[in-house]
């Protein structure tokens, strides 16, 4: 028997009960830190951060599957669904559908899982797709549902899911388990454990013709959010994307056996890394607000433009730091003016410098303290 669902005791996953004990405690503690940090941000900034984080997750989850979405279009569509003001623009079908799914997850995370919710998510995700037969319903095709790579004449099968005829029954069992294992269910599980099992189980069934990865990650986010009784805003998809090769390898190993300690260890580490990333984003926003408050009225338009451009790069900043040449490109300043402007920003405590002369690079000072 090659796959987990072919084994006699499927879907009785085996794992060590105490395996994620420390991870669960760290996740709940980290969630409290994120919520506490958000109290230092005003409502407008908090809404902006929420929009940025959900947009980021929408884009990254699609990127894991090799689909590149337009960031501005995703943000515009998300803002509309979340009731926030944003620039009106034409939005492509892929961006609109992916954004609608993530907005629905954010707003209705507490709802129990059921076929209707999953069908709606799939219809959103497949928005405008004419190459998919089964939209908004489980797959019905008779061909084997396989994940393959390589040339057509010699494909490599990475996974084969249960036949379409078995999907409805498999999903009935999965949905019942998911709701029973919720915090208010009959057999509640820890948030990270529940999210990890849910993601692997859903991917093992692979119930839809397409979009299983993105919906599976949304289900994992839903499990985490339900445990906190609040949208998690965890950068899960972004973190998985950074470890994309390992992610697929871990899923592949997990799909071959019902002993899933390996998968849960990997997934738990990813959840904590994602949460740390979210906290960094929150602290980054707080630092941005405080920095502009401290230098207000002391910088010129060129300096403000350059600082805003650095912030646009996010917590990772410019690779290697901002150079004087970068500053000139951003602001149109002459070399001598650029040097004076940058020196002033260092004196004000906005930036710090590394290197000398043409090797000098400038970095956000507060970010060094945050990281």
Looking at the annotation, which residues are catalytic? 206
Q: What are phi and psi of 355, to 5 degrees?
A: 80, 175
Among 136, 218, 213, 204, residue whose Cα is nearest residue 173: 204
Q: Which parts of 299-363 fold into alpha helices (H)?
A: 301-312, 324-331, 335-347
CA angle 305, 307, 310 (to 5 degrees): 110
- Beta-carbon contacts of 67 under 8 Å, excluding residues fewer than 6 positions away, are 94
Half-sphere exposure of 336 (CA within 13 A, CB side): 0
Question: How many residues comprise the chain?
Answer: 371
CA angle 52, 345, 291 (to 5 degrees): 40
Helix axes 261-295, 43-64, angle to 10 degrees: 140
**193 cis-preceded (ω within 30 degrees of 0):** no
Cα→Cα distances 25→31, 130, 219, Å: 10, 45, 21
- The sign of the dihedral angle between the CA atoms of 221, 226, 231, 235 is negative
C-beta separation of 220 from 233 below 8 A:
no
The rounded distance, in Å, linking the Cα atoms of 328 and 25 is: 48
C-beta separation of 260 from 192 below 8 A:
no
The rounded distance, in Å, linking the Cα atoms of 269 and 37 is: 22
Q: Are strands 156-160 and 361-364 parallel, antiparallel or unpaired?
A: unpaired
Helix (H) or strand (E) run with residue 363 in it? strand 361-364
């Amino acid at each position: 028997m090659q796959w987990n669902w072919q084994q006699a005791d499927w879907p009785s996953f085996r794992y060590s009960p105490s395996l994620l004990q420390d991870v669960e405690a760290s996740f709940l503690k980290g969630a409290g830190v994120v919520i506490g940090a958000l109290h230092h941000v005003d409502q407008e900034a908090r809404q902006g951060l929420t929009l940025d984080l959900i947009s980021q997750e929408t884009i990254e989850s699609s990127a894991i599957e090799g689909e590149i979405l337009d960031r501005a279009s995703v943000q515009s569509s998300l803002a509309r669904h979340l009731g926030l003001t944003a620039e009106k623009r034409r939005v492509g079908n892929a961006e609109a559908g992916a954004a609608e799914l993530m907005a629905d997850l954010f707003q209705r995370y507490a709802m129990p899982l059921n076929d209707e919710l999953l069908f709606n998510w799939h219809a959103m995700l497949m928005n405008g797709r004419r190459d998919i037969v089964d939209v908004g319903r489980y797959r019905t095709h008779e061909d084997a549902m396989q994940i393959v790579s390589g040339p057509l004449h010699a494909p490599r099968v990475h996974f084969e899911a249960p036949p379409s005829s078995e999907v409805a029954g498999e999903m009935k069992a999965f949905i019942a388990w998911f709701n029973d294992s919720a915090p208010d269910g009959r057999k509640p599980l820890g948030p990270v454990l529940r999210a990890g099992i849910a993601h692997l189980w859903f991917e093992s069934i692979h119930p839809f013709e397409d979009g299983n990865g993105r919906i599976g990650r949304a289900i994992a986010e839903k499990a985490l959010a339900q445990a906190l009784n609040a949208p998690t805003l965890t950068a899960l998809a972004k973190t998985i994307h950074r470890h994309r090769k390992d992610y697929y390898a871990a899923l592949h190993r997990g799909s071959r056996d019902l002993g899933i300690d390996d998968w849960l260890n990997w997934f738990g580490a990813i959840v904590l890394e994602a949460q740390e990333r979210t906290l960094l984003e929150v602290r980054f926003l707080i630092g941005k607000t405080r920095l502009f408050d401290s230098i207000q009225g002391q910088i010129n338009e060129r300096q403000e433009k350059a600082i805003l451009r650095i912030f646009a790069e996010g917590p990772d900043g410019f690779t290697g730091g901002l150079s004087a040449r970068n500053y000139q490109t951003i602001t149109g300043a002459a070399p001598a003016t650029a040097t004076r402007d940058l020196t002033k920003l260092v004196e004000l405590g906005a930036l710090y410098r590394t290197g000398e002369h043409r090797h000098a690079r400038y970095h956000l000072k507060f970010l060094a303290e945050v990281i």
